[in-house]
Structure 1
Amino acid sequence: MANNLTRFNPFGDLTGTETWRDFEDIFRRVPVVGSLAGNTPPSIRLDVNENEQAYQVSAEVPGIKKEDVHVSVEGNVVTIRVESRREQEEKDGDTLLRSERYYGVQTRRFSLAQDIDESQASAKCENGILELILPKKKGGAGAKKLEVR
């Protein structure tokens, strides 16, 4: 009878799954109903390209006026802040049944490998795309690359 015993591991089935690695994704899959649905602000999505002289950043800011976009650069840290406002349109006899558009402030902050020359940096916003040209500071060493042994 002792030869038929096996060791029980309660976590054995969980170790091979991707579920724990994408733990946050579990909660995104759960449908939210009622007043909680749609209240999370969308994230500012961006692309960052680099060449020897500068970084080029393209950020999606759909429906935002350029007056409501604020960009700040401090050393190698870039902060993009956009504010979307609800336009008050009241029409006689109309009732708002559902509003899925987000109104509020969105912020995206990221750091780059090298300090930015703030005096030469430029920003342009057209057709829902914010374009940043962020020249690298001259003489800056940037990130130190380590040799892996």
Structure 2
Amino acid sequence: MSSKLPSDKNNNSKKPVPEPFRELVKSMNDLFTEKPIRGFLQSIDEFFKHPFPPTAGFHVETLETEGEYIITAELPGVKKEQIHLNMTENYITISVENNQIETQEDELNQIYSRKMFRQQSSRTVSLPQTINEKKVKASYRDGLLQIRIPQEKGKVIEIED
């Protein structure tokens, strides 16, 4: 029996194998060949201009005590006017919205620039009971939003024999 393997002589069109670290190597090369300090400082400035990424959420913690539920959300760098609370049945939604317009004018060179930023992030917390919105208390201080929701006792039903 003769076994012939196909020859590779006619198959010269090999495709390059993608490197898994190609983007990382390119980024490292860019870091060392360009002005790294300026880029680093610009990224820090961008972070403080926009304290939370548009796709990321924020940390929310729910604590249940004997008489109430306490929901705490960490919102550093957010103004009170940017926070919206919405309650429906046993859900409470915390939304943060940031709309900004930056305008730069250079009349000497006749350059006008306008940037519009819109960031929105929200988290929804589910509670085991319906929320009575008249009894809910919310406070915001030092980047910490705290919502206090009293627990309500339902009517106890006796089971007959």
* TM-score, L = length of structure 2: 0.51
> Mapping of 1:36-47 within 5 angstroms?
40-47=54-61
> Mapping of 1:110-121 within 5 angstroms?
110-121=125-136
Q: After superposition, what is the alpha-carbon deviation per residue over 1:76-122, rounded to whole angstroms, capped at 9, x for unaligned?
A: 111111112335263769xxxxxxxx841111112112222211101
Shift in CA distance, 55/110, structure 1 to aligned 2, threshold 3 Å: same
Relative contact order higher in (CA < 8 Å, ≥ 6 apart): 1
Is 1:51 aligned to residue 65 of structure 2? yes
Work out whether residues 45 and 59 of structure 1, in 8 Å CA contact, stay in contact via their aligned partners in 2: yes
Could you tell me how far apart the structure 2 residues matched to 1:91 and 1:41 are? 31
Q: After superposition, what is the alpha-carbon deviation per residue over 1:43-92, rounded to whole angstroms, capped at 9, x for unaligned?
A: 02111100121100110112111111111222211111111233526376
Work out whether residues 114 and 140 of structure 1, in 8 Å CA contact, stay in contact via their aligned partners in 2: no
- Structure richer in helix, relative to its length: 2
Shift in CA distance, 126/132, structure 1 to aligned 2, threshold 3 Å: same
Paired positions, count: 99
Moved over 6 A (4+): none
Could you tell me how far apart the structure 1 residues matched to 2:132 and 2:53 are? 37
Contiguous gaps of at least 5 residues in structure 1: 1-29, 94-101, 142-149
Contiguous gaps of at least 5 residues in structure 2: 1-22, 28-51, 109-116, 157-161
Could you tell me how far apart the structure 1 residues matched to 2:82 and 2:88 are? 20
Could you tell me how far apart the structure 1 residues matched to 2:54 and 2:102 are? 21
Root mean square deviation of aligned Cα = 3.0
Question: Who wins on radius of gyration, i.e. which is larger?
Answer: 2
User: What residue is the counterpart of 2:99 in the other structure?
Assistant: 85
* TM-score, L = length of structure 1: 0.55
Work out whether residues 115 and 136 of structure 1, in 8 Å CA contact, stay in contact via their aligned partners in 2: no
Work out whether residues 54 and 121 of structure 2, in 8 Å CA contact, stay in contact via their aligned partners in 1: no
Shift in CA distance, 139/73, structure 1 to aligned 2, threshold 3 Å: same
- Between the two proteins, what is the percent identity of the paired residues? 29
User: What residue is the counterpart of 1:144 in the other structure?
Assistant: none
Could you tell me how far apart the structure 2 residues matched to 1:39 and 1:49 are? 26
Partner-residue secondary structure (3-state), 1:67: helix
Is 1:104 aligned to residue 119 of structure 2? yes
User: What residue is the counterpart of 1:122 in the other structure?
Assistant: 137
Could you tell me how far apart the structure 2 residues matched to 1:46 and 1:140 are? 31
Could you tell me how far apart the structure 2 residues matched to 1:74 and 1:59 are? 18
